[in-house]
Structure 1
């Protein structure tokens, strides 16, 4: 898997289409959740794209502290069903955590994790904070990564 990180303005139309399609495929269609994915925050984000050949096989977006949460944050983590089970999600997240550290220095990183993925994020070093809550009808948990 080849991973790259780009600002919104650096994305090509084909890359933007691929990431929006992937997010809709997973968060709207697969999870049967009607919500507006295009939340007006993509222009603030850094976009992390994992490619297997010409196929987008992993994606997430990153925000600097204060742009989404008080802390730096990662969201919209997505791996298409046909690429799951290959470790692409973990590799993407490890790359992203390192990129945040290099770009922003050591800082806390917050996520709003879907509850069923709690163990996945804990294995990457995230720790749960607070109680479960519903976001767009799906149970979520706030989790924070702090570089030790």
Structure 2
């Protein structure tokens, strides 16, 4: 499994196409949720994904503070294979990248409620009441990054 970390302008057309396809496969088709995936945040995001010979297996985007939240943001987290640690692996890579590239102390995200325990195991804590986003229950979660993380 190869870890890739790229800014938008570093992605090839094939990489961008594959990212958008896997996001549509998971968020639109699998979750039966019609929503506007292309939100202009991809252009300012760092795209982190795990790829093997079968293509992208896990993906997320990391967004600088001030674009979505006051804090840095993680979004569009997906894993084609569940319960293999791939989501945890890319989330930890995003935390490391945020520390190195953005010198930040907090990361925030909107998690689907069913995934709460994944984020809690990494150290995120719930910081909002439950809300519906595109008809799916979500909560906001935040991670306070310590120097020793």
The TM tier, using the shorter chain, reads: over 0.9
1:94 has 2:92 as partner: yes
- Alpha-carbon separation, structure 2, partners of 1:101 and 1:4: 17
Aligned residue for 1:117?
Answer: 115
Deviation of 1:85 after TM superposition, in Å, equals 2.4
Aligned residue for 1:14?
Answer: 14
Unaligned ranges ≥5, structure 1: none
Deviation of 1:46 after TM superposition, in Å, equals 0.8
Aligned residue for 1:144?
Answer: 142
CA RMSD of aligned residues (A): 1.0
- Alpha-carbon separation, structure 2, partners of 1:106 and 1:61: 16
Unaligned ranges ≥5, structure 2: none
List structure 1 segments (4+ residues) > 2 angstroms apart after TM superposition.
Answer: none
| Cα deviation 1:119-138 (Å, max 9, x = unaligned) | 11000100001200001110
Deviation of 1:113 after TM superposition, in Å, equals 0.4
- Alpha-carbon separation, structure 2, partners of 1:136 and 1:99: 29
Aligned residue for 2:24?
Answer: 24
1:128 has 2:99 as partner: no
Deviation of 1:54 after TM superposition, in Å, equals 5.1
- Alpha-carbon separation, structure 1, partners of 2:45 and 2:90: 16
- Alpha-carbon separation, structure 1, partners of 2:137 and 2:99: 29
Answer yes or no: is the 8 Å Cα contact 2:71–2:108 preserved in 1: yes
Deviation of 1:96 after TM superposition, in Å, equals 1.0
